[in-house]
Structures are given as C-alpha cells and as structure tokens.
Structure 1
C-alpha cells in the first residue's frame, strides 16, 4: 500500500494482526462477487502483504498473478508465502511495471485511498488490461460501517480534538459507493457496479483489539505510536469504554467494505 504523511507501512506481520486478518475475509467475498473464469492474468495493485493475491490464487485458478506495492517490507511478507504462480515486486501503483494490455483483471484491496490520485491509479489499472478487461477494488467504509476504525477515531477525538485531522473518514472520501462509481466512470470504464461486503470482526478480548494499535502500521496505529504514554492511555480507556464486551470478554464488531467493478471498453472479457 502506498501511504501518505500520516501513515506507516513497513512491517507485514504487524499489519496482518491489525488489518490483514479482516481484509482476508473481505477478499474471499470480493473474489466470489467478481466470479471470474479460470486461467486469467491478474495484477494486484497496492498488494500489501499479499492477502488478495493469495485468495485469487486459491479461488480463481489464475494463469498468473503479479502483485505491486511500494512497501519493501510488505512485499517481503507477500513473497514469503507466495506460490510459484505469483510474482511480487516493489513498484509504484501510479506507474505499474506492466506493459499495455498484458492482463485480464486488475484488482486492488484497501489501497485506493492511500494513492495520491485514485482516479489516475484506476486509469493506470485500465491501461494494463485488454479490451473488455475487468478493473475492481474494495475499500473500507471509513465513514460508518468499518466499526473498529470508526469507534477508534470517535474515541480518540473525545480525548484529542486534533485527532479529527487524522480520521480516515475525513481524509479518504472515496469510501462510499457513489464516489467509487464516479471514479470508475471518470476513468472511462463501463458496466460499473458496486456492492457492500460485511464481515464479522470478533476479538477474543480488549487486548486482542487494542494491541495492534501499538505496532504503528496504518493510519490509526501511526497516530497512536506518536502519542505520549499518558495520552495513549486515555485514548485506550476511551476506546475500551466505547466497545461492547461479551460475558466472556470477547468483543464482536462488524466491518463493511464497498466493492466496485467495471470493464474497459471493447469486446474482450
């Protein structure tokens, strides 16, 4: 994933515990929704630790998968478990190291909002697929449906009003279906559609929920890692008071992502 100045993306294992485990659940639903035939050539843009690429490889019998990400640490994590049919490389999503029309499908999981120009990135994805090729992505519903992130920022803002500047709902407007459809249409794609994907995010206890915020991978953990200890404790306590605990100490939340797809003009597919 390509980060902005408020974000750190370097350590794959820490990101997996924070967000990768939930992204994997969404990736399963996302690939099922795409319903692609076997034997296609895929590119995974902003591939992170390889979550989406792994699901594509397992479910879609691809001819090949290329994963691209700017984070060397994330790419190293992706390579560590990649099958031989998957190739990961460190590169910029805004300038893919892939020739024109070399792929059949271009996908992106949870990366679009972290790119400097989402529309240009989608146009670049369209460049590398052939006529009628598929371009699809999913992003968290930062404004409402991704409860872990929403509850975190609401708690942080009660302690520190300045935290609102870091809130992903404010920073990343391309997190709702109407805006996603508009970005796809603006890139010249046709047959554009969007759908919601909701998964359960169940934490064994509050430590299971809170500890990943201490590892500094992603917007909210980057914010937490920069706080003085006393301030960090106040954010932790505010979040603990805001999440629902079960009789066994578990915390059951839900996470909604929005998925979008479209095709390049032409007779392929």
Structure 2
C-alpha cells in the first residue's frame, strides 16, 4: 500500500508541480474558492473605480469569468472581451449565462490579440503578479486602450498575509513545505505597484487598500473550499510525497 500510494503521489506531484509553476486546471474548483473571493473584492473595486456605462472593456486574465461577470452586470459595457491562457478556464467562463454576448480568446497578457486603441477600459483582476513581466503587461494594456482610457488592476497582498488561504499556507510552511509564489509576487507590494504605473507617466494615478472577509459555516466548509487553491493543492501533494517517500 505504501508503494502504491507513493507512486500516485509522485504522479500527482509531477503533474501539479511541473517547473514549480502554479497551474489553474480545475476551473470549477478554482471558481468555488477564488471566484467568490474575487467577487467580494470586485464589488468594492468597481465602486471605487466608478466607471461609466456603455464602454468597451477588456478583462485580461479573466479565468473562469467571475470578475468578467461583474463587469457585465455592473458596467453595462457596449462590448466586453476576456482573455486567458487556460482553455479550461475560458470554457468555464463561456458557460455563464450572463456572458453570452462577451467575446473570449485564449491569449497571453504580454501579447494581446487586439489592435491599438480598441478599448475604453482594461483591467487585470488578481492577475498582474502572474504576468512574468508586469511592465510588458501594462504596456499591452496601454497599447490596446484609447488615449484617456482607464487601466486598472487589483492583487492580493501576498507578502503581508493577504492571501485568502493564508492559514493553510502558514501551517504548511511550519511543516517544511514552501508553496510556489506567482512569478511577479513583488508587484503585490503597494510601493512596487504604484511605481509601475508611475513609470509609464500615467495621469490621475490612484491606489486603494481594499479589505474583505468571508464567513464559512464550519471548518469542513473552510477546508473543502480553500484547498481548491492551486498553490495549496500543490503544497498538500508535496507534503504527501514527503511523508511517503
């Protein structure tokens, strides 16, 4: 039994932790965990942005469409597009009944499949720290938006305990398991984020700290939902592998 389980754990480890990258292959599980959190933040984020109705919007790194749906329902865009590198996530987004008129494309945030000046607003919801070169990502946002457009982003405060699965992450670290960080996790620091926008000499730069909380019915509810986090899954597989190797 030990050998069989160990082989299974090894296979899972190879699948989930290839090259130490965080993968988002379980769109439904990811939406159950992160989609809800994203919408909690997204509500406050959109109230803060206070965008005009009827604009052309681009949601970069749209994932399963949780925030894209908020854009559709709150902003009444004249056109709404979402891009993401994951086909599974895009397929999940396309299943949302409220997004039937939205256009989705598989694309990299650093190489957007649009021409210049096509959008009135572009945003990245919980995405910028996953972009290997944030500067290129912002440059692309500027390229595809018209002069005077709005570009925006929000991120978790990863280095200061602002990651929703932080309690599990902290416990795994105590057990010797280090979870992979997004490739550009430093951009989650407010000083780095503001510096990035300033580098492009943008006008009317504003930053805001947004705080949200979520209540779970009990520990089992918290565990079953939170362990859908891609990085937490990787950490649990690594811990299992260490235990049986």
Same fold per TM (> 0.5)?
Answer: yes
Preserved contact between residue 22 and residue 180 of structure 2 (Cα < 8 Å): no
User: Structure 1 or 2: larger strand share?
Assistant: 1
* Corresponding residue to 2:219 among 196, 199, 206: 206
Query: Is 219-228 or 114-123 further displaced after alignment?
Result: 219-228
Output the aligned Cα RMSD: 2.3
Which SS does the other structure have where 2:211 is aligned? strand
CA contact (8 A) 2:58 2:121 kept: yes
Shift of 1:220: 2.3
Normalized against structure 1, the TM-score is what?
Answer: 0.77
Aligned length: 226
Q: Distance in 1 between matches of 2:122 and 2:162?
A: 24
Give the Cα–Cα distance (whole angstroms) in 2 for the partners of residues 155 and 20 of structure 1.
23
Of residues 76, 81, 91, the one that matches 1:61 is 76
Residues 111 and 139, structure 1, Cα contact 8 Å, conserved in 2: yes
Q: Could you tell me which runs of 5 or more consecutive residues in structure 1 were left unpaired when the two chains were aligned.
A: 233-269
- Residue 179 (structure 1) aligned with residue 192 (structure 2): yes
Cα distance per residue 1:58-113 (max 9 Å; x no partner)? 11111111000000010000000143331111111111111100000000100111
Mapped partners of 1:100, 1:189: distance in 2: 17
How many Å apart are 1:153 and its aligned residue?
A: 2.3
The corresponding residue for 1:23 is: 38
Classify 1:222/1:129 alpha carbon distance in 2 versus 1 (closer, same or farther; 3 Å).
same
2:207 is the counterpart of 1:191: no
Q: Which runs of 5+ in 2 are unaligned?
A: 1-17
Distance 1:223 1:145 in 2: 17
Runs of 4+ in 1 over 3 A off after TM superposition: 212-215, 229-232
TM-score, length of structure 2 as denominator length: 0.84
User: Superposition pairs for residues 110-129 of structure 1, below 5 Å?
Assistant: 110-129=126-145
In the TM superposition, 1:53-132 aligns within 5 A as 53-81=68-96, 82-132=98-148
Q: Deviations over 1:35-78 (max 9, x none)?
A: 11111000000001111111011111111110000000100000
Distance 1:171 1:36 in 2: 28
**Cα distance between partner residues in 2 of 1:167 and 1:9:** 14
